[in-house]
Structure 1
């Protein structure tokens, strides 16, 4: 066994863990980031060329977190020289009451959206059909997930972090209030804190150590669809569908999407994939769900070819409320349950995890392990 002494071990080199290592190293902390798979792997939830960035949430805590994240994405871009966040504008449309609540919430936080008539929206973005009211928010955009993770890890390393890939952690043992032992193969790390941001593997690593909420691991299956024209702009978009519409159409949920340069227009249902073991996935689309997604695309995305598609496979780790878990128990900092909407917040979550590790400062109560009831 080779023994290492560090201040903090971060377990999990996806977006959240990499951002935590970046923020910790930037504060002069001796940190080791351990990732079980090779760099650029596709087994988790932080890969690919596109993730939606938006501030349009009903809950003020998420709006403020997205506002913070936008500034930190720009900071990372300046430090790394990489282009990571592209503003395209974002569109929410549908006939549900939450559209009005979205508009009220973003305006209350000083970042108002703009109501558009469907006809005006169709002139701006003819690749989409619009259902009922249309709320446009100029801050919406696209994040390049692969490049973001690479930039975070490179900057963490530049600031002194040790970044190790293909280093699966097999055990975490608490030795005291300021002592934890992390075993990875023949290496044993002794640290004051451990930050566990292991995505779909959180329960496997923490199940006997921390009382996590139920975590539902699903294999999600959006797809890239070929655009019919290359000169059409695409915003990020969310189509809100009520229960009556879902029953009438057979759609599985509301639909999100955005353009992905060089790959097509990404579209998918949210959190509807089959439950899986992250260590035993087939990465294949479920035929019935793919058929329904193509039916949706044929009806609502006239700017793409519904028959020319490339399926995508990723995981969601979803809590019962779809709220994240960002908390600390003794020397163990937990980052889990990002529920398919976490990537936009990555650098802000990294800051929260660094705070939890170094000072114990906790974020909004909705992110607590033993969170009280929070009105949505």
Structure 2
């Protein structure tokens, strides 16, 4: 039986980042991916994820600043532009732009708080209904290229990538763990890091986890999200009126959007309803089908609030959101198993930092913020805090 010091389950953004940091520290690493890295069935595919600093509390904004150093390092090592600067606008009564502005001011991050009229003059393609927070250092992450770059770095430092290796169970054995694949292969690892995204719920019952640790894991909800690409009414002049990313949060409704990039042939804006998709038992139950009611809601939203878009999507897709009840991430460890769920629709921007934190946690050389540990989360459940 093949053996390794660290087995990382899942080659999405967080798993690839963890494998990179472990291998760069000189550890023996096997990266196990049920398909191929950043495949379309997971949460880390495509060219369009939002990178932003705006959060309603200092904790996550400070972590974005830490993560940016990792993104800069990865861009240097890969020679690729992984984050395209676009800036971001945040608005809507529930979004509380004033509160976001106060957090950015406290962290020394460049921003402006604009009236709806001033913002409409700057971005006539968007209809604003409240004050607007603008922070120019936001942008769009190319998730696929980021995963590929981190996998490349891991492999360059000696990690072994195993594609088409779907983990079925992880069992304690011989002072470590035996990982068994769905097709019967096995691997012995001294330590295991589970970064399985939407497959985590179905794997939890197949892990050698103490009952007290398992019972402390909050209910993890997997949704099949839907996103639509709407064509620009006029091809934007990026020098004069670029399309920023946006988050618009009203009572009972949250929409987000960003330039679709390569995913949309650079022709339009990707727009979606946040957590508007159906709930799944796990990622294995996704069917890739668009809900017509969701499509209608998003089209009506675009008609009302996006005058710079033609309200007829020319492309549409589904993806996975894996949510915790309070939208905090899970990074915790028991015995030799580390569980990662940097999720809830806002984890992509932290990927290099998540890998660094996970590597430190798995090796016992560093801690992670208490907010990500299960003991702390048991007393802090406030849904929607970090969107």
Q: Do they fold alike, i.e. is TM over 0.5?
A: yes
RMSD: 1.8
Alpha-carbon distance in 2 for matches of 1:46, 1:123: 35
Alpha-carbon distance in 1 for matches of 2:369, 2:47: 30
Alpha-carbon deviation of 1:58?
A: 1.6
Provide the residue aligned with 1:21 in structure 2: 19
Provide the residue aligned with 2:246 in structure 1: 237
| Matching of residues 1-376 of structure 1 within 5 Å | 3-96=1-94, 98-175=96-173, 179-184=176-181, 185-208=183-206, 209=209, 210-211=214-215, 212-232=217-237, 233-241=242-250, 243=251, 246=252, 253-262=253-262, 263=264, 264-276=268-280, 277-336=282-341, 338-359=343-364, 361-372=366-377, 373-374=379-380
User: Paired residues, what number?
Assistant: 364
Superposed CA offset, 1:141-195 (max 9, x none): 100111111111111111111111111111111237x622212344322222100
Superposed CA offset, 1:341-369 (max 9, x none): 11111111111110111126332222112
Change (3 A) 1:113 1:73: same
Alpha-carbon distance in 2 for matches of 1:86, 1:318: 26
Gaps of 5+ in 2: none
Alpha-carbon distance in 1 for matches of 2:288, 2:323: 18
Contact 1:58/1:105 (<8 A) preserved? yes
Give me the TM-score of the superposition, normalised by structure 2: 0.90
Change (3 A) 1:97 1:35: closer
Alpha-carbon distance in 1 for matches of 2:261, 2:322: 27
Alpha-carbon distance in 1 for matches of 2:107, 2:334: 32
> Could you list the runs of 4 or more consecutive aligned residues of structure 1 that deviate by over 6 angstroms after TM superposition?
none
Gaps of 5+ in 1: 247-252
Contact 1:61/1:364 (<8 A) preserved? no
Change (3 A) 1:63 1:40: closer
Alpha-carbon distance in 2 for matches of 1:171, 1:325: 20
Q: Secondary structure at the match of 1:291?
A: helix
Alpha-carbon distance in 2 for matches of 1:140, 1:85: 9
